[in-house]
Structure 1
């Protein structure tokens, strides 16, 4: 991959697992990486480890709680106050199969953390991404998707799953929402002639803490087969790093990447009317 000296990246959920490996790899290419997360001690350890290993770039930790829209806004303001450019935004943080839980803003937990907060974060940083990108050197947004989006459904009248709750259904919905968001945003960026691309990345099954909420039997079954069936965090991160830095991805947006290859996402994800309705609804929910 080409060196990324002088470029600035934000990686949400970069204190451990796939996010950490993504941040580490980008820093090794010369990037200044902002790790955005809600665990200061983990963040300090991650930054220390990366900065000890990487001589080209550097990493730092900045707190954000993605279950709080107020915290997202505070994070963005802190970043803006530093007058830094922004060349890469990797919306990596996520949660999976948590019991029915509501955020302080009244949103279903998966929907808020996996999708809605990243929707707000991206939109509030979009002007910086636009001014930082240029022709032949676009800024890049990467949304961390999942194959579970193929089973996802969107009910715009019940995005918080209050009628019938299923943690699996809520997770699938949040990942489908990210893919719909990816395609709609890319269309708007292309129409405006901006040097910014956005892609969705499916890292496959990765052995991370994301699976900690599986029921006990599944956890017992997972441990002996994880090394065979699951990718390591570094292997999973390689796809998002490829999307963020590869020359082949310059100027390429609106893709669903699996194994670094452009792949068809679900039929529903290409529904332009649904993309538009979800965008407008999301703007209402976050106050944009």
Structure 2
């Protein structure tokens, strides 16, 4: 029974990966169109110091935005800001520390940001980790669940008031949640969200990415019902050659290197879908979508389960100490 509980999530995740690779083998990567300038708009990009997060932050700054790079590596953050400014972009960038695995750190980040008295037009919840060994955060949460989902859940909710104030008709504020095709393999165990009964890093990762999609859809329902000019969308970058894959088991890691050169997308290509969701005119006023390769796609059937969306939302509020909206 224990072996099945570990093997099934592993096989489901790798089958998702194979399907994505086959798609990328026969289909070109989404080409980002020329986007209008975004002068005067403010964005936050989590995990913006490297990989897809950096490429997202850099592109938004080049469009004229003031970009807050949120990350947990101060020196890396300083280098990222220096690189962006060195390109002579029209916008600006700055780094603010946040550890998304710590609820206290997320709250401190929001306090620091709000003290700047800036509006907030775009929130890109990009930061993530994959297939790390079993770890618990300082708050007692499973690491994937905390970093990929729960930290972003709290961050988004604490910034919602600013996003609502900053959006207006014809120029909505936008929330972009970075999911993955692995969410199709995800299962939400409401009785064991921290995966303490039987731990599987593959199952934990898939669950966190499914949770992000469920969160996106329910959040959009609330925003629409309230008449707020804010949209929320989930995006899927495909398989991208980033440090996320450093935790693959040894055989998969050996196979990944030659495959990545030909079939994986570059960080810039992977970031294109986040940038599109954050700034494309075609996405104005459009929310509650799952975007892949520049198109709206059907996400996992489970992600449309309204009862599960509500249960996850209510449980998440309790876990992070928020009153239910």
> What are the superposed Cα offsets for residues 94-127 of structure 1, whole Å, 9 maximum, x if unpaired?
0000000000000000000000000000000000
SS in 1 for 2:251: helix
TM-score between both structures, scaled by the size of structure 1: 0.99
Q: Distance in 1 between the 2:95 and 2:251 partners?
A: 36
Structure 1 segments unaligned to the other structure (5+ residues): none
Q: 5 Å matches for 1:121-132? A: 121-132=155-166
Aligned-residue offset at 1:54: 3.4
Out of 307, 310, 314, the residue aligned to residue 273 of structure 1 is 307
Equivalence for 1:7: 41
Matches within 5 A, 1:23-34: 23-34=57-68
**Please, which of 172, 176, 199 is the counterpart of residue 142 of structure 1?**
176
Give the distance between the partners of 1:286 and 1:129, measured in 2 at CA.
20
- Structure 2 CA distance, aligned partners of 1:286 and 1:201? 24
Displacement of 1:168 in angstroms is: 0.2
Q: TM-score, normalised by structure 2?
A: 0.88
SS at structure 2 position matched to 1:47? helix
Match of 2:191 among 150, 157, 161: 157
Alpha-carbon RMSD: 0.5
Paired residues for 1:69-218 under 5 Å: 69-218=103-252
- Number of matched pairs: 288
Q: Show CA shifts across 1:15-60 (max 9, x none).
A: 0000000000000000000000000011000100001113310111
Higher deviation after alignment, 134-143 or 214-223: 214-223
SS in 1 for 2:235: strand
Query: Do residues 263 (structure 1) and 263 (structure 2) align?
Result: no
Distance 1:88 1:55 in 2: 18
Give the Å deviation of 1:222. 1.1
> Is 1:63 paired with 2:97?
yes
Gaps of 5+ in 2: 1-34
Cα separation, 1, equivalents of 2:170 and 2:294: 21
Query: For the residues of structure 2 that align with 1:106 and 1:285, how far apart are their CA atoms?
Result: 10
Q: CA deviation at 1:220?
A: 1.4
1:20 counterpart = 2:41: no
Distance 2:294 2:254 in 1: 31
Deviation at 1:215, TM superposition (A): 1.2
Cα separation, 2, equivalents of 1:181 and 1:55:
33
Shift of the alpha carbon at 1:192?
0.4
Partner residue in 2 for 1:253: 287
CA distance in 1, matches of 2:70, 2:79: 13
Give the distance between the partners of 1:147 and 1:27, measured in 2 at CA: 28
Structure showing greater radius of gyration is: 2
Q: Deviations over 1:200-239 (max 9, x none)?
A: 0000000000000001221111111212110000000011
